[in-house]
Chains A and B, each alone.
Chain A
Amino acid sequence: MAEPLVVMQDVNKHFGDLHVLKDINLTVGKGEVVILIGPSGSGKSTLCRTINRLETFETGSISIDGKQLPEEGKALADLRADVGMVFQSFNLFAHKTILENVTLGPIKVRGVPKAEADTRARELLERVGVAHQAAKYPAQLSGGQQQRVAIARSLAMNPKVMLFDEPTSALDPEMINEVLDVMVELARSGMTMIVVTHEMGFARKAANRVVFLDGGQIVEQADPETFFTNPTSERAKDFLSKILTH
């Protein structure tokens, strides 16, 4: 396996009495694309969000590129700048134009001059196919377009790893593919990605590994082909039988 980039060791988290993450041990190598899959409430989104500490955790450790995840403050902000995040509900800054959404991070966090940030942002918007929308506001774009802008916004920070928290779950069916195409292209370009999704087409096409969670635990992990055709655990078999019949 490639050099480890994200290392989670014995991570535990509770929401009140609910033990949402149980002794999570997960290592993601540089350039690896890992899919987190599991039933609703299995902790997959929470796991994804702990990696940049949008969710706190109680015990265990997470390191990114050899650096321990700081608890708060400037150090945490610096680390988050290196970790891209794409949300289910896009979360583009509603009062800023598409271009400003993409340049805000580089200008304010990285100190890139505005002209340079603009040029780079236009390149990225071109790459995700929404360059002609640069002057518009998020609400004027379709969900699929907004999500592609959100991907460009993350890419503008030159992240070491990108987290995707159900990136296509809030999209109309005909818009899912335009977002998945961008993600497949991203995976091929060598980006390290951790993706919470049920899109098996994407998993088969782009993923190196599928991690199946249930009840806050990692139950099984395998390459996509093995996992989807020949899962070993009963829980995974049961889960797949439910989602594959449709």
Chain B
Amino acid sequence: MGDILSNYNVLGAFWVTIQLSVLAAIGSLLIGTVVAIMRVSPVAVLRGLGTAYVNIIRNTPLTLLMVFSVLGLSLLLGLQISEQASTNAYWWAVIMLSVYHAAFVCEALRSGVNTIPAGQAEAARSIGLTFAQSLREVLLPQAFRGAIAPLGSTLIALIKNTTVAALILGATEAAGTLSKITENEGAQLPIFFLFALGFVLLTLPLGVLFTSMSQRLAVKR
């Protein structure tokens, strides 16, 4: 096992997993917030677009999105982010992870919005706040606080779903490296448990953190 750890960059692989997770978490939070705003906006067309986004993306396997990004968008349609194949695949992985999890972020936020009584928006409007100001000052802060627990679940799912990116990234992140080791050195339980432990270390503290945050930041009514 010592040999394997010195011959393969396991820490580096987990570092790539962390990078993918952080970048995609930011991306999905941004896209998801925009889609959630569309879904609660007073404009019917925007609501329709938001609903379509969630229904299409949420019901498409992530594996399909990953393969489609590199084979479909990148190779067939020529949408190259970088000349270098590995960099290209890396950023497509980040984009697809963001796009995919944005649908779940949107729904988490929307469940947060639903915890807000209608009177909060009416009060915001009645003191003269515009729609954008009402969202920024009153609705979104409460929606985020109400959505912390489901957002935490989404983030944990995202971290584990980065393994799907192994399809297009090869042996750069954790899952790809594990399969490469298994291929070259034969299947070994200790190695498997080592990688499993790596993911537990990434996700378990987050779960604890999000649970305590959702209690601490909950809006008291």
Chain A residues with a Cβ under 8 A of chain B: 52, 54, 73-74, 77-85, 87, 89-95, 104-105, 108-109, 137-140, 150, 153-154, 157
Contact = CB atoms under 8 A, between A and B. Distances in A.
Interface centre among A73, A109, A150 (most CB of B within 10 A): A109
B122 A87 contact: yes
Pick the most buried of A79, A89, A95, A137: most chain B CB atoms within 10 A of its CB: A95
A176 B125 CA distance: 26
Contacts of B119: 87, 89-91
Given A74-B130, A95-B138, A95-B145, 11 more contacts: A81-B128, A83-B126, A85-B122, A85-B127, A93-B124, A93-B138, A94-B220, A95-B219, A108-B129, A109-B129, A157-B127
Contacts of A87: 119, 122-123
Contacts of A89: 117, 119
Nearest to A79: B128
B122 A105 contact: no
Contacts of B124: 93
B142 interface: yes
Contact of B120 (A73, A85, A94): A94
Per CB-CB distance, the 9 closest pairs between chain A and chain B, nearest first, are A81-B128, A139-B220, A91-B119, A105-B127, A91-B123, A85-B126, A109-B128, A77-B130, A80-B128
Interface residues of B, number: 21
A77 B122 contact: no
A157 B122 contact: no
A78 B124 CA distance: 13
30 contacts: A52-B126, A54-B125, A54-B126, A74-B130, A77-B129, A80-B125, A81-B128, A85-B123, A85-B126, A87-B119, A87-B122, A89-B117, A89-B119, A90-B119, A91-B117, A93-B124, A93-B138, A94-B120, A94-B142, A95-B141, A104-B137, A105-B128, A108-B133, A108-B137, A109-B127, A109-B128, A137-B220, A138-B220, A139-B221, A154-B127
B146 to A, nearest CB: 10
Contacts of A137: 220
B123 to A, nearest CB: 4
Contacts of A108: 129, 133, 137
Given A108-B137, A137-B220, A91 B127 contact: no
A80 to B, nearest CB: 5
B122 A80 contact: no
A237 to B, nearest CB: 35
B221 A93 contact: no
A93 B120 contact: yes
A123 to B, nearest CB: 18
Nearest to A137: B220
Contact of A78 (B128, B138, B220): B128
A84 B219 CA distance: 25
